[in-house]
Structures are given as C-alpha cells and as structure tokens.
Chain A
Amino acid sequence: MTQILKTGKELDALREKLKKQRESVKQTITICGGTGCHGYGCQKVIDAFRQELASRKLEKEVELRVSGCHGFCERGPLALLAPSGIFYQRIDVADVPAIIEKTVMKGELIDKLLYVLEDGKKAAHEKEVPFYARQNRLVFANNQRINADSIEDYIAVGGYAALPKALAMKPEAVIDEVKKAGLRGRGGGGFPTGRKWETVRKAQPGEKRYVICNADEGDPGAYMDRSLLEGNPHSVIEGMVIGAYAIGANEGYIYVRNEYPLAVKNARIALDKAREMGLIGKNILGSGFDFDIIISRGGGAFVCGESTALMASLEGKIGEPRAKYIHTAEYGLWNKPSCLNNVETWANVPMIINNGSEWYSKIGTATSKGTKIFSVVGKIKNTGLVEVPMGVKLREIIFDMGGGIPNGKKFKAVQTGGPSGGCIPESLLDLPVDFDELTKAGSMMGSGGLIVMDENTCMVDIARYFTEFLSEESCGKCVPCREGVRHMLEILNRICKGEGKAGDVELLEEMSEAITDASLCALGGTAPNPVLSTIRYFRNEYDAHILEKRCPAGACKALINYSVIDKNCTGCTACARVCPTQAAVATDKPAQGAIKGKVNPKLKMHKIIDEKCIRCNMCFEACKYDAVQIK
C-alpha cells in the first residue's frame, strides 16, 4: 500500500528506507527506454532481459531498470550496468543471454558491445566515452538512475527533498533564491525566471493564479523536453509545486504535445503517484498548501508553444497568440496571473532549492547561469542530447561531444534555436554559448536545438526549408507573418529553382525588417532569422544561385546535373539497378574503371540521361567507385 506522506520527516524516513532497499540490490541493469531507443527496438531487449533474468532466477539479485532517455541516441539501444559501471551500446536481443552469462555473472566484458573510441580502443565505461565525459549532467543526471515510472526511485535518489525545504521557507524567500540563482527561461526567450515569478505573485492581489508547464516542444530536431518529461517527470512536477507555492497558485497545467505519447503516459503516472502519496493535492506535507496539476494535450500546432497561444488553447480556444503589451504574468490564463515556464526550467528549480542559489550561480557565464541541454542533430556523428554549462563553445559541443561530421565531410554551419534561429558559420564556432552571445551572432538559444550541416548542405535551401516550415506553421492571424513569410518563401523557392533575380536578396532584407518588427508574436518576429543569418554569413551562395544559376553545395535539384565520370565507371550496374526512372543506363562502350585493380572490358560503361533524371541522388549513393558526379 502506498504511504501517504503527511510531513517532511515522513518523506525523509521513506527516502532512507528506499535508499537502503536500493543499496541492497547487488547489481542493476539500466536500459534506456526513451523514445529514440524505442525506435531501435529496445522494448524487445527489455523483454529479453526480463525473460533471461527470470529463467535464471536472478530477479532478486539483479534489478532491471527501464529509464528515460540517456541522451546518446546515436548508439541505442543502451545499457548501463551497476556497480561495475560497464556501458554497452547497440545491443541486440541476441546479445542479452551473453550479457547475463558473461558480464553480470562473471564480470567479463563483451567486446563487440563496447563503444569504439577515435583511436580504435574500446571504452568499457560511460565516463571514458567522450560524448559523456565532457558533459556536466545536473538536470539530466537522474534520467539514467531511475525507472521512468517510479516515484520511489526518484525519492531514493534525493527527489522531493527540495519540496519540504521550500515549503518551510516564505514564498518570497523562494522567489528570492531563484532570482539570486540567475535562472533564465529555457524555452527560448531567456527571461529571468525569478522576476517572472515575482510579477505573478504581486499581480491582481487576492485573485486565483496559475502555473503552467510548457511541454509543447515543437522545434524540429529538439527533444530535450520530451526526454525530461519521459524520463524524470517528477523533477518537473517538483519544480512546479515549488513554483506554485512561491507565487501562490493552487492549480497547474502541463501542456504537452499529443505526439509525445510516452511523455504523456509517464507524466500521468507520475501525477497519479504524487497525488497518492500526498506530494500534490490538499495540504501538501502538512504545510496547508494545496496544489494540483492537470495534463492538457496539445494538438500539434507549432505556434501553441508561444505562451499566449498556449493559454488560448488551454482555454479551449483556437491556439492563436495575442499581443503581449499586457503580460500573461498579470493577465494570462482566463485573464488571471499566470506563470508559464518550460519543462527544463521547471526541472532546474528543485536543484536550486536543494543546493542554494550560490552554488547554482557559480555554473555558467555572467548573464546565463546553470547548464543547458542541447539536442545535437543533423550531419553529426553522435546524434543525441548533451547537457553542458552555459558558456561552453559550440566547437566543443559539435566536435568533442558530438564527434564531428560523419563520412569525412567538412563542417559548414550550425542552426541554433530551431527554425526561428540562425545559421552560425565555422568562424564563430568558438562562441561561448549563452543567451546573449547567440543573439549577438544573429541567432538565438531557443530551446537548445543544434542542427549541424556539412559541406553538402546548401544554405539557401536550408533557409528555404525553415521558411517553409514557419510559413506552414504560421497561425495566419497577422499580415506580416501570414503574407510576408509566404512571399519570402516564394522568393526563396524561385532562387533555388534558378529563377532568382538581381535584387532578390535586398528585397528579402527589406521584407525582413517589417516582418521582424511588426509581427504579432515571436513566431513571425523571428521568422526571417534563417534568411537573414544565411545572407549574413553565406551571401556568396545566394549570389551563385541568383547570378550564376549554380548551387555550390550541389543540393538544389533544379541547378544540378548528374553525370558519369567515364574513367571511374566499372560497369557494375549499381546505378542502373537503383535508378527509378531508367535514367542511368549502359552504353555500348566498354567500362574503363577497375574493380579490385582489374578492368573488365566485357562490362559496359554507364551514362545518365539528363532528361529522364529526377535528381533523386540514388545513383550517387549507390556508386562505390566515385563514378557519379554532381555538377
């Protein structure tokens, strides 16, 4: 039966008990059960472990934990063994018996499951893997230590310790602590969290007020909020309860995308458990403070990540933003003072209360405190989530943790801050990453998405891609965003098709001014960023498209042709076999290229018929002899 906790002391006693239980387990195997690893089929691995442990009657000695995302999504499915600290990656169902037999029972390593380092050596432990070694995991740390659906695990690792501490403080003192810590909103804007809380606390005295968790993470490639809510929902809930106490709210909402089924499920389980144990609900831990949280599922509109649109959606209206001349902190949800923070922001709060603002404010830069979780995606070796202190250089994230660019390609740019952010070129890679530095470079922190691009990425095409995304996701309420962004897209489409005109770039810049300044919300206000930043740093690519009708990266289909380099073609027929339009065909001429040092003149040299070619790139990818070229 679940214990209902009436005081902080009872909570402490329970924690001690759970800790001892945890310590009594001889070995644990923690499998990453994040959405990414589920994509790799980790559920089958988990089932296999369960079966294997059961058949060997090891269930009591070896605890199997299914945690949230570990962040190293590139190498999933992942397993962490304790106390040995052994780290296995790319695990297959077939590997499970061996892991139990050799590693768990005899302590032997299984070579093929170890991570291979740059120099070819193998890393047996997580801390030897550069991806992990250079991170500073504070918010994300517990993701690996707990069962994603277990409140007991969260309590055992120190969870809900900040709650009684905060409840014993005056609300103003809690706000003061958050202010002194220097915590800034992790959702994009970087607004000082403590100041927001203070405004909400003071607004409309005597009225009801709300706290809201924004889990409507919508930036393509960004999934740190999802991973937090999936893997450690209680840290978010604890942060919200503390925030609610500080501002005097009794009702809270988690607005989460319905496309995040596992996050919805785990948040729901967590709320039910917390309610059962009296950590949310009436008279929390005997403090007299009441607070409960309701989950509201979003319908998938990107714009609903904007605070006023989110609140409109919560109210049951169309998710469209309104002017913020009157702040939501004063008149928000149902016109009541409302404190909206993002998932990661809430998850930072317990840590600040536990360790104090002084400790927290020592991490990071002068104006951006704490750590930030980045999702590193795109043309990068180690796709995944990294948590680093603010101020780390982009180069460290991309090359040291991210492992650099795959397939020996060269780095070209990184898009920070999602679709409304900007592309940052190699010359700025030593930029310390914090809210203000990124803004100065013409981009923004956003929610922490980093999309890495290599030399084959066309920067005009990238700007076109993000502009298309924003044009489609614009709610259409105000003219500059609805009409302006659409016209920008139309111009970019023309440029990519080789129909650009002299003056297009200047027109784009001229339009950007009005769209940036006059749009109703930040979606429109930042929509020109991808275009402006690519013009700023990659103007030469625009000129090549417009003036020379050439795509230097070889990406814009209308501006490229595929052809065969005769001397390299071995006549292997790989291109002809994959070509969906029979554009790649054999000629009458004998092949000139050598297979394993030998030319076989019986094989025919191939060619690509341009009129039939749809530029799908299949032949280029299929050719092993570098005989297909893009010009």
Chain B
Amino acid sequence: MSKITITIDGEKVEATAGEMLMDVCRRKGIFIPTLCDHKDLMPYGVCRICIVEWDRGDWSKMITSCNFPVKEGQVFRTNSEKVIRERKMIMEFTLARSSKTPEIIELAKILGVESSRFPTQDEGCILCGMCIRACSEVVEANAIGFAQRGSHRKISSPFYHEATDCIGCGSCSYICPTKYIEMKEDADTRTLPIWNVTFEMAKCKKCGQKIAPKKQIEFLKKRAKNLPEGWFDLCQNCR
C-alpha cells in the first residue's frame, strides 16, 4: 500500500492508503473515544462516538474514524466544536441507556457529560456487538447474535434458548467492555447464564487444574492438527 499524507487538526500526518483513520490518530497520540472498536475485530461503526469532521473545503461531513479508510490529501478535524457537541449528544444517548454502568459514566465524564437529559435506564449491554463479533470473527463459533430490531435490539442466543454452538471459551465475556456478560465457574463447570449454557471443565492429567471446557478442547482439536499428542491433556503450566 502506498504512503500518503493527510491532515489531522492542521498537522500533516503520514499514513498508508486505505488505513482506518482511527488507527492513524492513535499512532499520533490523538484521543479518539470509542465504545465498539477493538484491535482484533473488524471495524463495526455503531457507537458513533469516534466521529470526526471531514473537511471538504467549502463543506464538511461527519464520519466515523474507526471504519473510514483514508486517502491522499484528506483533511480532518477531531476536536472541532461540532465534533465535541455531537459526541456529547451521542454520549448522552448512551448514558441514558446505561446510566449505572461505570465504564459509560467514566467516558461520559471525559467527554464532559455529567448526566443525561433523557429518561434513564440501567441497561448493562451497550450493543457494541463485540461479543458477537469475537464469537464469529475470532473464535468462528458463531454461537450468538442479535435479536429484535430498533430499541428492542438485544444480544441473544438463538431464539433465547441454549446456545448450542457455544463452546464455552468465554471470549464474549472477556471482551465485553461493560462486564455485562457474566461467566461463572465452580470446581467442575463453567456457566454463561446469558446464553443458557453450562460446560464440564477438562482437567490437567498431571496436576488436576481446570484447563478449559471439554467442548472447547474438542473444538480446538479439530482446528489445531499439528500439535503434539496429548497437548490438550495438560494445563499451561504442565505442558
């Protein structure tokens, strides 16, 4: 890919053609807030908090930086009055939805939003879709998805029943930015209540430590064919 020069907040910046604007900004240390972007996932562009102003000369357009591929000569403003004003409004929308979620309250404060003028809810899920995207793009289990539409949208197992394709890897829980997806473990099992699934844990043949759900190990065995015999029988420490 060819090297290009773009302008961000009045400064010339080197970038690679087609690179996402947010990545360029991060490299330059420019703060771009986001709630749905993750380095290991494809850009999704739904939280809209990362909007910046694309200067077209005699007019400008708001774009989301996470999924905007840059081209030579483009000019952006990441902190214009318009950007700040609109980010605050979007943050107010999100804060109204998740009014008691610490991560949301914290980002709202950073953006200068202390409270929301709209009726508030206490909804832990911000619908960033990271769980679903991790399950599909990284794990490739495709066990969960979105249900309903509009303001009824929610993350869900198929038809709200048991997520039969879930392998219990817990990626959804680890990646959730608001710690909404709970994962419980006891001596022998792992449970993800939101997907209605419980898994029996495999244990290390040497030390007896829990390794991972048996279903996850079976899933991994099918994919990782070049590993030594018995690799999955042992925990990380005993391998």
By a beta-carbon cutoff of 8 Å, the part of chain A in contact with chain B is: 301, 303, 318, 322-323, 325-326, 471-480, 482-484, 486-487, 490, 507, 510-511, 513-514, 517-520
Enumerate chain A residues within 8 angstroms of B85, measured Cβ to Cβ.
513-514
Known: A484-B93, A487-B93. A479 touches B149 (CB 8 A): no
Interchain CA distance A473-B151 in the complex, whole Å: 9
Interface string of B139-153 (1 = CB under 8 A from A): 000000110111111
Contact at A476–B150, with CB atoms within 8 Å? yes
Contact at B118–A487, with CB atoms within 8 Å? yes
Enumerate chain B residues within 8 angstroms of A322, measured Cβ to Cβ.
45
Interchain CA distance A518-B117 in the complex, whole Å: 19
Contact at A520–B48, with CB atoms within 8 Å? yes
Interchain CA distance A349-B126 in the complex, whole Å: 46
Enumerate chain A residues within 8 angstroms of B51, measured Cβ to Cβ.
517-518
Contact at B118–A482, with CB atoms within 8 Å? no
Contact at A514–B90, with CB atoms within 8 Å? yes
Contact at B118–A473, with CB atoms within 8 Å? no
Enumerate chain A residues within 8 angstroms of B94, measured Cβ to Cβ.
479, 483
Interface string of B39-67 (1 = CB under 8 A from A): 00000011111010000000001111001
Enumerate chain A residues within 8 angstroms of B97, measured Cβ to Cβ.
483
Please provide the 9 A-B residue pairs with the shortest distance between their CB atoms, ordered closest to farther: A476-B153, A514-B89, A483-B93, A517-B62, A474-B150, A514-B86, A487-B118, A518-B48, A476-B150
Known: A325-B69, A490-B119, A518-B62. A476 touches B151 (CB 8 A): yes
Enumerate chain B residues within 8 angstroms of A519, measured Cβ to Cβ.
48
Contact at A479–B150, with CB atoms within 8 Å? no
Enumerate chain A residues within 8 angstroms of B117, measured Cβ to Cβ.
507
B68 within 8 A of A: yes
Interchain CA distance A201-B172 in the complex, whole Å: 41
Interface string of B202-228 (1 = CB under 8 A from A): 000000000000000000000000000
Shortest B121–chain A CB gap in Å is 10
Enumerate chain B residues within 8 angstroms of A472, measured Cβ to Cβ.
150
Known: A325-B63, A476-B127, A482-B153. A487 touches B96 (CB 8 A): yes
| Chain B binding surface SS class | mixed
Shortest A233–chain B CB gap in Å is 30
* A-B interface pairs (CB < 8 A), number: 96
Tell which of B48, B51, B96, B153 has the most Cβ of chain A within 10 Å. B48
Shortest B155–chain A CB gap in Å is 11
B46 touches which one: A478, A486, A490, A507 (CB < 8 A)? Answer: A478
Known: A326-B69, A483-B97. A474 touches B48 (CB 8 A): no
Enumerate chain A residues within 8 angstroms of B82, measured Cβ to Cβ.
517
A476 touches which one: B86, B145, B148 (CB < 8 A)? Answer: B148
Enumerate chain A residues within 8 angstroms of B149, measured Cβ to Cβ.
301, 303, 473-476
Enumerate chain A residues within 8 angstroms of B127, measured Cβ to Cβ.
476, 482
Enumerate chain A residues within 8 angstroms of B69, measured Cβ to Cβ.
325-326
By a beta-carbon cutoff of 8 Å, the part of chain B in contact with chain A is: 45-49, 51, 61-64, 67-69, 82, 85-86, 89-90, 93-94, 96-97, 117-119, 127, 145-146, 148-153
Contact at A482–B150, with CB atoms within 8 Å? yes
Shortest B215–chain A CB gap in Å is 26
Known: A479-B93, A479-B94, A514-B89. A486 touches B48 (CB 8 A): no
Enumerate chain A residues within 8 angstroms of B151, measured Cβ to Cβ.
471, 474, 476, 482-483, 486
Interchain CA distance A476-B147 in the complex, whole Å: 10
Tell which of A303, A472, A487 has the most Cβ of chain B within 10 Å. A487
Shortest B34–chain A CB gap in Å is 12
A513 touches which one: B63, B86, B118, B150 (CB < 8 A)? Answer: B86
Enumerate chain B residues within 8 angstroms of A303, measured Cβ to Cβ.
149
Given contact pairs A479-B48, A480-B93, A517-B62, a sample of 10 additional A-B residue pairs in the complex whose CB atoms are under 8 Å apart: A323-B45, A323-B64, A325-B68, A476-B146, A478-B45, A478-B48, A479-B46, A487-B118, A510-B89, A511-B89
Enumerate chain B residues within 8 angstroms of A490, measured Cβ to Cβ.
118-119
Interchain CA distance A301-B149 in the complex, whole Å: 10
What are 19 A-B residue pairs whose CB atoms fall within 8 Å in the complex?
A325-B67, A475-B150, A476-B150, A476-B153, A478-B47, A479-B46, A480-B48, A480-B93, A483-B96, A483-B97, A487-B119, A490-B119, A507-B117, A513-B86, A513-B89, A514-B86, A517-B82, A518-B64, A520-B46
Enumerate chain A residues within 8 angstroms of B146, measured Cβ to Cβ.
318, 476
Enumerate chain B residues within 8 angstroms of A510, measured Cβ to Cβ.
89
B150 touches which one: A318, A323, A473, A511 (CB < 8 A)? Answer: A473
Name the CB-closest residue of A to B129.
Answer: A477
Enumerate chain B residues within 8 angstroms of A476, measured Cβ to Cβ.
127, 146, 148-153
Interchain CA distance A325-B69 in the complex, whole Å: 7
Enumerate chain B residues within 8 angstroms of A323, measured Cβ to Cβ.
45, 64, 67-68
Shortest A65–chain B CB gap in Å is 42
Enumerate chain B residues within 8 angstroms of A475, measured Cβ to Cβ.
149-150, 153
Enumerate chain A residues within 8 angstroms of B68, measured Cβ to Cβ.
323, 325
Contact at A471–B150, with CB atoms within 8 Å? yes
Tell which of A479, A480, A513 has the most Cβ of chain B within 10 Å. A479
Enumerate chain A residues within 8 angstroms of B90, measured Cβ to Cβ.
479-480, 484, 514, 518
Enumerate chain A residues within 8 angstroms of B63, measured Cβ to Cβ.
325
Interchain CA distance A479-B63 in the complex, whole Å: 14
Shortest B77–chain A CB gap in Å is 13
Enumerate chain B residues within 8 angstroms of A517, measured Cβ to Cβ.
51, 61-62, 82, 86
Contact at A518–B119, with CB atoms within 8 Å? no
Name the CB-closest residue of A to B151.
Answer: A486
Enumerate chain A residues within 8 angstroms of B118, measured Cβ to Cβ.
487, 490
Tell which of B49, B69, B149 has the most Cβ of chain A within 10 Å. B149
Enumerate chain A residues within 8 angstroms of B62, measured Cβ to Cβ.
517-518
Name the CB-closest residue of A to B48.
Answer: A518
Name the CB-closest residue of A to B63.
Answer: A325
Name the CB-closest residue of B to A516.
Answer: B62
Enumerate chain A residues within 8 angstroms of B152, measured Cβ to Cβ.
476
Shortest A298–chain B CB gap in Å is 14
Contact at A520–B93, with CB atoms within 8 Å? no
Enumerate chain B residues within 8 angstroms of A514, measured Cβ to Cβ.
85-86, 89-90
